Structure 1
């Protein structure tokens, strides 16, 4: 007999016995005990919750009615401004506050619509109204609805946003004949109410409280509660919305039957929020509230534990006996041979390929043992060949890796050298010679080299300052700066330093001419942003022209921006540029910046730095010495950027001319022209 046949017979016998036991236990427990005891459990639990709720609420309601019925209460509400009556009432009310479970009370004077509320935190100021009710305020609608629709008292679950509490409110009307004097009562903290009177400590049971219309007053999920239900006559938050449509008439009938016979209980089987539940329902006529206990029969403890213990013990004995038989058979027939095979597999996985098992069996395990011996031999041969190939490939890989490292080092050396060259051709010297400590420069390429650069040219009685932002980053951006620098040199050599707009237009023409015959240039971003300032030191004027860049200025009190044109250099269509002339003021600091600073992401939400934040930065630091402005710009940018990566090349050039009262003045421009 084969191993498969032996195993099939053993497992079939085991499953047959387990099936008989399962059918017997399921038929006895599920169909008899669970349904019978589940219905009784649901009814008893609903009655218990009703009694607990009535006991607690009746005490709070009785105290509220006594507070409302005090002669001191009525006397004060008839003459709210009388100080003696006010003291008499609040002296009595303080005693009631200590007696209430929540240590709080509330009073509304109908004539003035003043709302008084006192708890442990506000006892000292109890005589002062917290706010005044307004008929047109939706948050105060509960009072006017209660005043109109309720004769004696009402319970209302509501969020009072003005005193910042959420409670189950006990509202007792105070009348003098037909005249409404006001309302008094207390409240139970909703969280405590749900925890103590609604939350169930029974596994598989949850409690719900609804009013006579089925509107939910209390639920373990506070989101389903209809707050201020007294003023919400057509609320959608009803228990009927939680069950299927076809089950709603049956539940409505059970609630109606309970209202006719309040002492009894009702049960109903429904699908509550998509889950099958058995409902036990009781009724509190004094409050017109229904207490619903939803029982999950699959998890609630409704079965007789002793009967389950007896059944479990009997089944355990039978299973143990069957288990011993199955274990003995499997150990002899299957487990011992498999254990030997497992140990051999472990040795094989550890690298011992000289394994050979012996077996005289003619079943599947015997065939498996012989197949294992053959596999071990094949693995041994293939492993030896594979080790030889791996050794050869490892040598090849090491050589290739060394070549890649050499190429990478050479590339990095080239880029660093290019950075030195780019930094060397920038006019740091002329800029320092021209302005000295009356300028600062924040130049931060995103990569080792970048696409931003700045210019400084001087001539007799005048100078030219500017920044240029070329498309691209890293090496491509750096090459674009060479093209832009060449175009700038050509424009200055032809046109001089006085007309920034003409210089930008000439730079545009030169760049277009240089890229005209490059077939790949039409598919690449080759445009440039630029801002140029021509300073006439004799006539004390500053002329600005910009291609998508602006000139910013601030005197510490005001902040201004002179916007450049919307088109850039080497855009698809040429842009005419305009000069903006202004008087050069010694108390004003001027700033040229590329969009890298303004677009840098940071802050809590990762937004760009932005022009408004940049303007505030200028306003707060424009009057500082320029060297300190440099540190302030760097610190502000670093704090805003945080751990985020730099998005673009950043260049900011800040400068002043002829500021009075400072020792260091800009050097007189000479004939140095770079």
Structure 2
């Protein structure tokens, strides 16, 4: 019923949405014609076509929209309340069902526990009797039989069934006396391990349980009897079993019978085997020493996902004593039900009760639906009153203010609202009047201010463009001057096909400077890396070039260490004494190498820059001094003299290449990668080495920006080259 009501409300809500959409957008109904039944679509189209323009205009206004929103809100609340009511009713049913079935299973447990507990206590007392233990040790001794049977007969009178049995583990004799058969002190028969009917005795001896109960159902007599088997022990040794029977036929019949429809009761053991059920075919009879079939277990009839696991977990908690009662939702016999379980720890049994939460006797559905309808009507009445109040207090004053705004937009700045109210609407009207006055004042002043600001902005843009042009022109001119001091022409004349050069300024001008000077016996080449980059570093290169030229005049090209020492001294004289105090970096990394073709050797000296020698055996690094030129402590440059060899290549590199970030992790290029690239360059002709080195750097750098000026200077110093020295 709840589902049908929700569906009806949903159709009403859809109809209202379509009608409102037609008022707003007429073409929607034509589209609905294709997806709705023909009669419904034609009816909606005809109804919307017959609607007058005045009515449609009202729907376009705030009042029409609020009416539509109120209707939609009412229908939405109705649908939500009906849906929530159905869900609430279902939860209430589940709650009441859980509470009821929990109390039911506890009552069933007490009804079962009281009669069985009495018989169990009496059987345990009989097993603990000294006469019983003495008789079990030697049941053929007449002196022990008399006191035992006297004691046993007293217990028989107390047992509800007025019967008892004794079975000896030593002699395997089975004694039994009741009210029906005459008393006998002789064994009724001897137990045999090969007899299936006697398997309960031998299996019980093998178990460690102090007692166990066996449900025996006689199909012919239609009698269900519980046999209480209590183990008689002495010093940890099993002497035998004593016990009694309890006729549970009428009790179990009353237990599984329930007066309420949708409620069922059963009894299971620790393994989940069914011991009592309204359907006798599901009961596991004579379980002593045997395992119940699947159809005789409760888990077999649980078909919901996770039901068996939840049942086992509930049984585990009950056996552990962490819970006295468990309830869980399951699907039993294909129907959703609430299952409640309680344990009889003395018997190892579980009383189980199940209930259908949708059973009609749990709660009166008519009462809940009546309350829901009353609440719904109250909500609808509240919405109606709220809509009328909003229309009178809000919508009509806003409509008047809307007309005033239209006149203000048309240029009538003298308009006034003439609305005297002491609420938010009145405050809005007062603010509107002030706004109209301010708009009139600002309109008169706006054009003058815009013209003035536009003129100032145009002048500022012109000045910035002129300043930017001058700065760029100066930087380009500085770049031309810097290129003028580079030894490109003499380098091409001397080593046109035997050198490689990678010179990449980070900005337009660079802080790296390479030098090349022919000498009488060969030539001198070197690299200078000034601190920083950009214009300041470029100015440093001019100072470095002047210092290098002065060092050549004062020293000798075949003494690179002397050149470095002289440049260090000249550089120190160029800066003021407070350069260090102001933290201005004025250091230079530098290295020079003189190639003596006549002597077949090279002389190298470096200041914080190394020489990379590459031949057929690999890359060999000649370390320069640890300090750079211009540092606080004077550099101690040392000449390193090495012989020239076949296919020898020499390289100098600034730290811009080694520190350049790139790769997947964004690490620096590094010395190892640089040395690997130098090994690869050895297999290429000198005319291709610069381009290859550029490609390797670009691939490694990827999209990361260049961090510093980059310079790599390499020459062919092979011993086999002819000595062509030019002054």
417-426 or 358-367: which moved more?
358-367
SS at match of 1:523: coil
Shift of 1:538: 0.6
Shift of 1:599: 0.6
**1:562-581 matches, cutoff 5 A:** 562-581=622-641
**1:646-665 matches, cutoff 5 A:** 646-658=706-718, 660=720
Distance 1:353 1:558 in 2: 90
Moved over 6 A (4+): 40-43, 207-212, 260-264, 279-283, 303-310
In structure 2, do the counterparts of structure 1 residues 320 and 412 end up closer, same or farther at CA, with 3 Å as the change threshold? Answer: same
- The superposition leaves residues 251-297 of structure 1 with CA deviations (integer Å, 9 ceiling, x where unpaired) of xx9954245799984579xxxxxxxxxx99999xxxxxxxxxxxxxx
Q: Is the CA contact 1:344–1:355 (under 8 Å) kept in the aligned structure 2?
A: no
SS at match of 2:379: helix
SS at match of 1:437: coil
Q: Does residue 644 of the first structure (1) align with residue 704 of the second (2)? A: yes
Distance 2:684 2:671 in 1: 20
Q: Does residue 487 of the first structure (1) align with residue 547 of the second (2)? A: yes
- The superposition leaves residues 168-188 of structure 1 with CA deviations (integer Å, 9 ceiling, x where unpaired) of xxxxxxxxxxxxxxxxxxxxx
Shift of 1:339: 3.6
SS at match of 2:635: coil
Residue 620 of structure 1: aligned partner: 680
SS at match of 2:495: helix
Distance 2:500 2:619 in 1: 19
Shift of 1:623: 2.3
Q: 1:428 aligns with which of 488, 502, 505?
A: 488
Q: Is the CA contact 1:439–1:626 (under 8 Å) kept in the aligned structure 2?
A: yes
Distance 1:522 1:601 in 2: 30
Residue 95 of structure 2: aligned partner: 36
Residue 384 of structure 1: aligned partner: 444
Residue 511 of structure 1: aligned partner: 571
Shift of 1:315: 3.4
- Gaps (5+ residues) in structure 2? 1-76, 103-303, 330-338, 344-362
Q: 1:475 aligns with which of 522, 531, 535?
A: 535
Distance 1:360 1:516 in 2: 79
In structure 2, do the counterparts of structure 1 residues 476 and 312 end up closer, same or farther at CA, with 3 Å as the change threshold? Answer: farther
Residue 669 of structure 1: aligned partner: 725
Distance 1:210 1:642 in 2: 62
Distance 1:304 1:591 in 2: 98
SS at match of 2:590: strand
RMSD of aligned Cα (Å): 4.3
Q: Does residue 598 of the first structure (1) align with residue 658 of the second (2)? A: yes
In structure 2, do the counterparts of structure 1 residues 438 and 29 end up closer, same or farther at CA, with 3 Å as the change threshold? Answer: same
Q: Which has the larger radius of gyration?
A: 2
Distance 1:210 1:560 in 2: 77
Distance 1:304 1:589 in 2: 101
Q: Is the CA contact 1:353–1:377 (under 8 Å) kept in the aligned structure 2?
A: no
- The superposition leaves residues 375-411 of structure 1 with CA deviations (integer Å, 9 ceiling, x where unpaired) of 3112220232233122202101111110110110111
**1:234-383 matches, cutoff 5 A:** 255-258=316-319, 265-266=326-327, 314-342=374-402, 344-345=404-405, 352=411, 354=413, 356-359=415-418, 361-364=420-423, 365-366=425-426, 368-383=428-443
Shift of 1:535: 0.9
Distance 1:305 1:639 in 2: 77
Distance 1:558 1:512 in 2: 38
Residue 412 of structure 1: aligned partner: 472
- The superposition leaves residues 151-207 of structure 1 with CA deviations (integer Å, 9 ceiling, x where unpaired) of xxxxxxxxxxxxxxxxxxxxxxxxxxxxxxxxxxxxxxxxxxxxx977x9xxxxxx9
Q: Is the CA contact 1:515–1:521 (under 8 Å) kept in the aligned structure 2?
A: no
**1:14-93 matches, cutoff 5 A:** 33=92, 36=95
SS at match of 1:399: helix
Q: Does residue 445 of the first structure (1) align with residue 505 of the second (2)? A: yes
Q: 1:583 aligns with which of 643, 661, 665?
A: 643
**1:105-124 matches, cutoff 5 A:** none
In structure 2, do the counterparts of structure 1 residues 487 and 522 end up closer, same or farther at CA, with 3 Å as the change threshold? Answer: farther
Shift of 1:359: 3.4
Shift of 1:639: 0.2
Q: Is the CA contact 2:644–2:719 (under 8 Å) kept in the aligned structure 1?
A: no
In structure 2, do the counterparts of structure 1 residues 261 and 397 end up closer, same or farther at CA, with 3 Å as the change threshold? Answer: closer
Q: Is the CA contact 1:435–1:667 (under 8 Å) kept in the aligned structure 2?
A: no
SS at match of 1:651: strand
Distance 1:459 1:470 in 2: 25
Distance 1:504 1:41 in 2: 101
In structure 2, do the counterparts of structure 1 residues 418 and 309 end up closer, same or farther at CA, with 3 Å as the change threshold? Answer: farther
SS at match of 2:496: helix
Residue 45 of structure 2: aligned partner: none
- Gaps (5+ residues) in structure 1? 1-17, 44-195, 201-206, 213-252, 269-278, 284-302
Q: Is the CA contact 1:353–1:380 (under 8 Å) kept in the aligned structure 2?
A: no
In structure 2, do the counterparts of structure 1 residues 398 and 521 end up closer, same or farther at CA, with 3 Å as the change threshold? Answer: farther
Residue 634 of structure 1: aligned partner: 694
Distance 1:210 1:548 in 2: 79
SS at match of 2:517: strand
Q: Is the CA contact 2:613–2:648 (under 8 Å) kept in the aligned structure 1?
A: yes
